[in-house]
Amino acid sequence: MEHADVDGVRLAYQVTGEPDAPPMILLHGLGSGAGSWNTVAAQLAQTHRVYALYLRGHGHSDWPGKYTLELMRDDVLGFLDALALDPAVLIGHSMGGNVALLLAEEYPRRLSRVIIEDSLIPVPGGDAVPLPPRRFGPQAYDWQLAEAILAQLNAPDPAWWDKLADITIPVLLIAGGPASPAPQDLIIKAAERIPGCVLTTIPIGHAIHRDRPADFLAAVRGFLG
């Protein structure tokens, strides 16, 4: 396990691949961690230097008690600065996809391509996202984080949606199909809003990279060319 200090927050990460290969950053979903990418990390590392992060409030990273999607975006930006990883491919699953889109909207020059895996892409006035049942005892993430992030998703900044139309780098959206809890209609609408966006559906549910790794890898490799 490696660590990087980003503006006073210690971020843990797993790294694999050749040091001189182009960088790729993997961002996990809410309540998950870097290890969730183990089903595909080794294969992605055949062509890239792969960094799987623990976002703030998760796992081995710091749990600072302050959580927003924008803070996570800035953490990833600081991680790119700390390790001099320009430009990087950015892959985000679920909540990690929300973070990745915010980074693509504000700092496109820091990225080469962005891949979003079955994220709940919020629009103002959309359906509410319920808070999952709280687990008591030791857990892999800070419960305050779940409360804070779901509150944001339920009252999203309208600029998040508006700025999708301003993204200037190639984006692939991978949808999980009818079995996914993420609203598929919003993923389709987001793909229509992002200029030149590629949309593909792998109908297996929310954790595509875990449950259909071969199909996920084929979609990623086809997009990266």
Share of the chain above pLDDT 70, in %: 94
Q: What is the mean pLDDT of residues 149-177?
A: 95
Q: What is the pLDDT, as a whole number, of residue 130?
A: 66
Average pLDDT, rounded, for the chain: 93
Token look-up 């419960």 returns: 143
Q: For residues 14 and 2, is the Cβ–Cβ distance under 8 A?
A: yes
- 70 pLDDT band, cuts 50/70/90, is very high
Write the CA distances from 223 to 36, 107, 127, 173, 202, integer angstroms. Answer: 22, 21, 31, 10, 14
Rounded CA gap, 170 and 180, in Å? 24
The separation between CA 201 and the C-alpha centre of its own chain, rounded to angstroms, equals: 17
Q: What is the pLDDT, as a whole number, of residue 126?
A: 65
- Going along the chain from its start, the domains and CATH numbers come out as 2-224 (3.40.50.1820)
Q: What is the mean pLDDT of residues 186-214?
A: 96
Pick the range with the lowest mean pLDDT from 13-27, 98-112, 150-164: 150-164
Q: What is the pLDDT, as a whole number, of residue 124?
A: 73
Q: Residue 15, exposed/middle/buried by CB under 10 A (0-12, 13-18, 19+)?
A: middle
Q: What is the pLDDT, as a whole number, of residue 171?
A: 98
